[in-house]
Structure 1
Amino acid sequence: GPQGPRHLRPLLDTVLDALHTGTHARGGPLPTGGPDTVTAAVHDAAGDLLPDRGDPDALRTLVHAFAAGAADPAHPLCAAHLHCPPLAVAAAADLAASALNPSLDSWDQAPAASALETLLTRTLARETGHTDGLVTTGGTEANQLALLLARETHGTVRLVHGANAHHSLPRAAWLLGLPDPVVVPAPAGTLDPVALDDALTRLPGPRGSVLVAATAGTTDTGLIDPLPDIAARCTAHGARLHIDAAYGGALLFSDHHRAKLTGLDAAHTITLDLHKLGWQPVPAGLLTVRDAHDLAALHHRTDYLNADDDTEAGLPDLLGRSLRTTRRPDVLKLAVTLKTLGRTGLGALVDQVCAHAREFADLVHDDPRFHLHDRPAISTVLFRPAHAPDPAVAAVRRHLLTTGRAVLGRARADGRLWLKATLLNPATRPDDLRALLTLVHRTHAEGPR
Structure 2
Amino acid sequence: MSRLNPILAASAQSIEAYQQAITQSTEAVVQWLQQPEMYQGKTVAELRERIALDFNPQGLGNQAAIERAVEFFLKDSLSVHHPQCVAHLHCPSLVVSQAAEVMINATNQSMDSWDQSPSATIIEIKLIEWLRAQVGYQAGDAGVFTSGGTQSNLMGLMLARDAFFARQGHSVQQDGLTGDLRKIKVFCSENAHFSVQKNMALMGLGYQSVTLVKTDEFARMDVNDLAAKVAQAKANGEQILAIVATAGTTDAGAIDPLRAIATLAAEHQIWMHVDAAWGGALLMSEKYRDYLDGLELADSVTLDFHKQFFQTISCGAFLLKEARHYELMRYQAAYLNSEFDEAHGVPNLVSKSLQTTRRFDALKLWMSLEALGQQQYAAIIDHGVTLAQDVAQYVTEQPLLELVMKPQLASVLFRYRPQQLAAQGENAIALFNQQIGDALLESGRANVGVTEHNGVTCLKLTLLNPTVSLDDIKVLLALVDKTAQQLLNA
Q: TM-score, normalised by structure 1?
A: 0.94
Give the number of equivalent residue pairs. Answer: 445
CA distance, structure 2, for counterparts of residue 423 and residue 5 of structure 1? 41
Shift of 1:208: 8.7
- Candidates 107, 124, 136, aligned match of 2:146: 136
Gaps of 5+ in 1: none
Residue 3 (structure 2) aligns with: none
Residue 229 (structure 1) aligns with: 260
Shift of 1:24: 4.7
Residue 169 (structure 2) aligns with: none
CA distance, structure 2, for counterparts of residue 351 and residue 223 of structure 1? 16
Residue 354 (structure 1) aligns with: 385
One-letter amino acid of the structure 1 residue matched with residue 158 of structure 2: L
One-letter amino acid of the structure 1 residue matched with residue 215 of structure 2: A
Asked whether the 8 Å contact 1:80–1:407 carries over to 2, the reply is yes
Residues 416-438 of structure 1: per-residue CA shift (max 9 Å, x gap): 10001000000012321111000
- Candidates 282, 292, 299, aligned match of 1:251: 282
Question: SS at 1:235's partner residue?
Answer: helix
Counting only pairs closer than 5 Å after superposition, residues 268-347 of structure 1 correspond to structure 2 as 268-347=299-378
One-letter amino acid of the structure 1 residue matched with residue 80 of structure 2: P
Residue 70 (structure 1) aligns with: 77
- Candidates 415, 419, 431, aligned match of 1:391: 431
State the superposition RMSD in angstroms. 2.0
CA distance, structure 2, for counterparts of residue 357 and residue 16 of structure 1? 33
Asked whether the 8 Å contact 2:252–2:412 carries over to 1, the reply is yes
CA distance, structure 1, for counterparts of residue 65 and residue 339 of structure 2? 46
Shift of 1:363: 1.7
Asked whether the 8 Å contact 2:337–2:351 carries over to 1, the reply is no
Shift of 1:90: 0.7
Residue 158 (structure 2) aligns with: 148
Asked whether the 8 Å contact 1:23–1:67 carries over to 2, the reply is no
Q: Which region of structure 1 is more displaced relative to structure 2, 122-131 or 104-113?
A: 122-131
Asked whether the 8 Å contact 2:42–2:76 carries over to 1, the reply is no
Question: SS at 2:448's partner residue?
Answer: strand
Gaps of 5+ in 2: 1-8, 166-176, 178-183, 422-428
The change in CA–CA distance for 1:16 and 1:317 in structure 2 (over 3 A counts) is closer
Question: SS at 2:188's partner residue?
Answer: strand
- Candidates 196, 210, 231, aligned match of 1:201: 231
CA distance, structure 2, for counterparts of residue 24 and residue 217 of structure 1? 32
The change in CA–CA distance for 1:331 and 1:359 in structure 2 (over 3 A counts) is same
CA distance, structure 1, for counterparts of residue 212 and residue 470 of structure 2? 40
CA distance, structure 2, for counterparts of residue 268 and residue 15 of structure 1? 44
Q: Which region of structure 1 is more displaced relative to structure 2, 78-87 or 147-156?
A: 147-156
Residues 94-119 of structure 1: per-residue CA shift (max 9 Å, x gap): 11010000001111111111111101
Greater CA radius of gyration, 1 or 2? 2
Question: SS at 2:405's partner residue?
Answer: coil
Counting only pairs closer than 5 Å after superposition, residues 40-59 of structure 1 correspond to structure 2 as 40-43=49-52, 47-55=53-61, 56-59=63-66
Asked whether the 8 Å contact 1:18–1:61 carries over to 2, the reply is no
User: 2:241 matched to 1:241?
Assistant: no
Residue 426 (structure 1) aligns with: 466
- Candidates 446, 451, 456, aligned match of 1:411: 451
Residue 196 (structure 2) aligns with: 169
The change in CA–CA distance for 1:91 and 1:276 in structure 2 (over 3 A counts) is same
- Candidates 8, 32, 41, aligned match of 2:18: 8
Shift of 1:207: 12
Question: SS at 1:169's partner residue?
Answer: helix
Shift of 1:175: 0.9
Residues 251-293 of structure 1: per-residue CA shift (max 9 Å, x gap): 1111100011111111111110010110000111111111111
- Candidates 97, 101, 113, aligned match of 1:106: 113
CA distance, structure 2, for counterparts of residue 248 and residue 355 of structure 1? 14
One-letter amino acid of the structure 1 residue matched with residue 229 of structure 2: A
CA distance, structure 1, for counterparts of residue 299 and residue 112 of structure 2? 26
One-letter amino acid of the structure 1 residue matched with residue 241 of structure 2: V
Shift of 1:7: 4.3
The change in CA–CA distance for 1:163 and 1:50 in structure 2 (over 3 A counts) is farther
Question: SS at 2:413's partner residue?
Answer: strand
Asked whether the 8 Å contact 2:100–2:363 carries over to 1, the reply is yes
Residues 339-367 of structure 1: per-residue CA shift (max 9 Å, x gap): 22222121011111112212211221111
Shift of 1:50: 4.3
Asked whether the 8 Å contact 1:139–1:246 carries over to 2, the reply is yes
Residue 158 (structure 1) aligns with: 185
CA distance, structure 2, for counterparts of residue 22 and residue 444 of structure 1? 30
The change in CA–CA distance for 1:256 and 1:187 in structure 2 (over 3 A counts) is closer
Question: SS at 1:38's partner residue?
Answer: helix
One-letter amino acid of the structure 2 residue matched with residue 260 of structure 1: Y
Asked whether the 8 Å contact 1:165–1:218 carries over to 2, the reply is yes
One-letter amino acid of the structure 1 residue matched with residue 81 of structure 2: A
Counting only pairs closer than 5 Å after superposition, residues 79-94 of structure 1 correspond to structure 2 as 79-94=86-101
CA distance, structure 1, for counterparts of residue 238 and residue 122 of structure 2? 36
CA distance, structure 2, for counterparts of residue 5 and residue 134 of structure 1? 33
The change in CA–CA distance for 1:372 and 1:209 in structure 2 (over 3 A counts) is closer
CA distance, structure 1, for counterparts of residue 280 and residue 432 of structure 2? 35
CA distance, structure 2, for counterparts of residue 9 and residue 335 of structure 1? 25
Question: SS at 1:214's partner residue?
Answer: strand
Shift of 1:6: 5.2
Asked whether the 8 Å contact 1:247–1:277 carries over to 2, the reply is yes
User: 2:297 matched to 1:266?
Assistant: yes
Shift of 1:314: 3.7
Residue 483 (structure 2) aligns with: 443
Residue 37 (structure 1) aligns with: 46
Q: Which region of structure 1 is more displaced relative to structure 2, 298-307 or 215-224?
A: 298-307
Asked whether the 8 Å contact 2:114–2:121 carries over to 1, the reply is yes
One-letter amino acid of the structure 2 residue matched with residue 433 of structure 1: I
